[in-house]
Amino acid sequence: MPKYAMVIDQRRCVACMACVVACKNENDVPPEQYRTRVLEMVEGEFPLLRMELRSELCNHCDNPPCVYNCPTGASYKQKENGIVLLRKNRCVGCKACVAACPYNARYINHEKGFADKCTFCDHRLKEGKEPACVATCIGKSRIFGDLDDPKSPVRIALQGADSTVLLEGAGTRPRVYYIKKFSKPE
Ligand code: SF4
Ligand code: SF4
């Protein structure tokens, strides 16, 4: 059974937003709503400023508060590969999962009324394809694969890298890993 994960190599992102467009197109995401985004943030203190480009999406947490807080069982984590998904027909649009997610990764689809978020393009994985954002990433900043396979792109990318996850102390155990451009402020 694969243990799917994503690596964001921030050293390679050029903020072209191709991933954001590909995701919206692939997953029919409504206007003004997003399953993934690329944040442009300024770090440091003047005059030593630098910009961080950070792609964000659902972390497919191994300890997912969105799933635990869903009152209907609509949100769940797939046993076979760890992807956090949604049964649309069970979702009542109560927003409990939106409030529970500390990563702001969910929204209520304003056209259809159910909760929505990144699925790691589960439908494409079933066809042997990569997630749309990974397939379109011109800088190869987004890397996807099986954490349990030593030959997978994610394992190779993480080998010897100084990687981190978002909100490490939150206990959510994310499956999206970041290799930062700058390891610490100078
Ligand atoms: Fe749930 Fe948010 Fe974690 Fe995704 S990032 S699994 S929506 S808590
Ligand atoms: Fe569950 Fe839907 Fe409510 Fe989210 S909005 S907690 S998925 S019923």
- Specify the DSSP element, H or E, that contains 7: strand 4-9
**Closest residue (by CA) to atom 4 of ligand 1?**
58
User: What percentage of the chain exceeds 70 in pLDDT?
Assistant: 97
Q: Which ligand has its closest atom nearest to the C-alpha of 171? A: 1
Q: Kindly state if the Cβ of 59 falls inside 6 Å of ligand 1.
A: yes
Q: Is the CB of 131 under 6 A from ligand 1?
A: no
Domains of the chain (ranges, CATH numbers): 4-179 (3.30.70.20)
pLDDT digits (tens, 9 = 90+) for 75-114: 999 999 999 999 999 999 999 999 999 999 999 999 999 9
Q: Is the CB of 20 under 6 A from ligand 1?
A: no
Q: What distance lies between CA 172 and its chain's CA centroid?
A: 13
Q: Is the CB of 66 under 6 A from ligand 1?
A: yes
Q: Whose CA is nearest to atom 8 of ligand 2?
A: 91
| DSSP reduced 3-state for 116 | strand
Any atom of ligand 2 within 6 Å of the Cβ of 91: yes
Over the stretch 18-54, which tens digit does the pLDDT of each residue have?
Answer: 999 999 999 999 999 999 999 999 988 999 998 899 9
Mutate to test the pocket of ligand 2, among 58, 67, 69, 75 (most ligand atoms within 8 A of CB): 75
On the question of pLDDT at 186 being above 70, the answer is no
The pairs formed by 163-169 with CB atoms below 8 angstroms and a separation of 24 or more are 163/7, 165/59, 166/56, 166/59, 166/103, 167/102, 167/103
